[in-house]
Amino acid sequence: MSDVGKSSASAADDAGAERPDASHAERPERESREDDSKVLHAARDAGSSAAARDSAAEGAPESRQNTSASSSSADSLDAEEIAAQLAALGLTGPPEREPLLESFDLEGVASYIAAGKAKNIVVMVGAGISVAAGIPDFRSPGTGLYDNLQKYDLPRPTAVFEIDYFRKHPQPFYMLAKELFPGQYKPTATHYFIRLLHERGLLRRCFTQNIDSLEVEAGLPKEKLVAAHGNFDSAACIDCRKSYATEEVRKYVEEQRPMHCSECEGLVKPCIVFFGEDLPRRFFQLAQQDMPACDLLIVMGTSLVVHPFASLIGHANIDTCPRLLINREKAAELSVVQHAAGVKGGFWWGDRNHRDALFLGDCDEGVRRLCACLGEDWVAELEELQA
C-alpha cells in the first residue's frame, strides 16, 4: 500500500468544516476526457495488450487536477470510440467475476450483511455525513461565517487552512475554530449508524476526513476512529511541536486570540492537518492493516478527490470485498476507457460490475433505508442510539 502515502491533504477539503456540496462534486467532463486520452496514449505506446494495461494503470492520475491544453486529438473522441480503439488493442477490461452481491443496491448489501459475510466492515466518511448536524459552511458566499471571514481579506477562502498563510495571519483560523470547536453540534443518524456497526461487532475501523469528532460524540470508541485530517483532540506548536491540552487552547479560541508556545513563542494550533502538512502516522499504519482485512467497505458523504484518503478504496480486495457508496452524487467513478484499460481503484457500476453498490441521496436517508432492509431490530437499535 505504498501509494497510500504519496501526498498530504488538508482538513479544508473533506472535514466537518467543508461546504456541504463539496462532498458531492464530480470531476469536470473535460478533465475526464483528458484522463481518458492519457490512458489511450499509454495503451498505444505500450505495444502489446498486457504491457498496455500496465502502462495505462500506472499513468492514470491519482488525484483531481486541472490539466492544461489538450495533448491529443483523442479529446475529440467520445468514450465509446476510445473504448473501441482500446478493444482493438486487446484491452477489453478486467475479466468477468462472480458477483459478490445479490444486487448492487442497499438490498444487496443488507443480504450480504445478514448472511454473516461482513465481519470486518471499514467505513470511510467525509463532510456529507455532517451536513444534517449544521456544521457551518465557510466557503460559500452569503453564509454568515463566510462573510465574517471576508473582513480578513483572505486571498481565497481555503487560505484559512494553509500553513504558510497561518504563520503570517493566524487570526482567521482562530475565528473559524471558534465556530467549529467540538461540543456545539450533535451527531446525525449516520454517525449513530457507524456506532451501531460497532455495537454489533461488525466494525473494524472508521476512517474520517472530518475534524468535528462527531463520531466519538455519538459513542464510537476512539480506537475505532482514524481522523485522517486530524481534529481538536490535541494541539501543538507548529515550530517546536510542544504539545498542549485541548482545554489550554480552548480559551484562546473562544477569545479568537492566537496562542503562542511557552517554549519558543511559535504559534499553537489544534492538530488539524493543513495544506503543507503530513497526515498522521496512525492513518497510514492502520490503513495498511485494515484495508486488506476489510470484507465490506462503506463510503459515505465524500467526493473522494483528496489523496491519500481517496486511494483507500482501491485497497479493498477486488475478489472478496464489496463496496457501497452512499452519497448525493457518484464519486470516484471510472470512465469507460479507464475500466477498459484495467485502471484500478475507482468505483464501477457498468457492465461486469461484480461488487460496487450505490445509493444516491442524503447519508441519513441511506443508512435508515439500509437498516430497514436489515430488519426491524436494526431500525429500533438505531433509533434507540439516537434517543
Active site residues: 229
Look at residues 379, 375, 323, 384 and name the one whose alpha carbon lies nearest to residue 354: 323
- For residue 323, the cross-strand partners are 297, 356
d(CA 302, CA 87): 33
d(CA 206, CA 215): 9
d(CA 159, CA 148): 14
Q: Which residues, including other chains, have CB under 8 Å from residue 140's CB and lie 6 or more apart?
A: 19, 146
Q: Which residues, including other chains, have CB under 8 Å from residue 115's CB and lie 6 or more apart?
A: none
Q: Which residues, including other chains, have CB under 8 Å from residue 98's CB and lie 6 or more apart?
A: 354
d(CA 136, CA 17): 7
Look at residues 29, 27, 28, 42 and name the one whose alpha carbon lies nearest to residue 72: 42
Q: Which three cell numbers stand for residue 80?
A: 465509446
In whole angstroms, how far apart are CA 262 and each of 49, 236, 255, 259, 266? 62, 11, 18, 9, 8
Contacts 24+ apart (CB under 8 A), 246-250: 246/270, 250/181
> CA 294, 313, 129, 276 torsion: positive or negative?
positive
Contact status, residue 363 vs residue 188, Cβ threshold 8 Å: yes
Contact status, residue 267 vs residue 170, Cβ threshold 8 Å: yes
Q: Which three cell numbers stand for residue 44?
A: 498505444
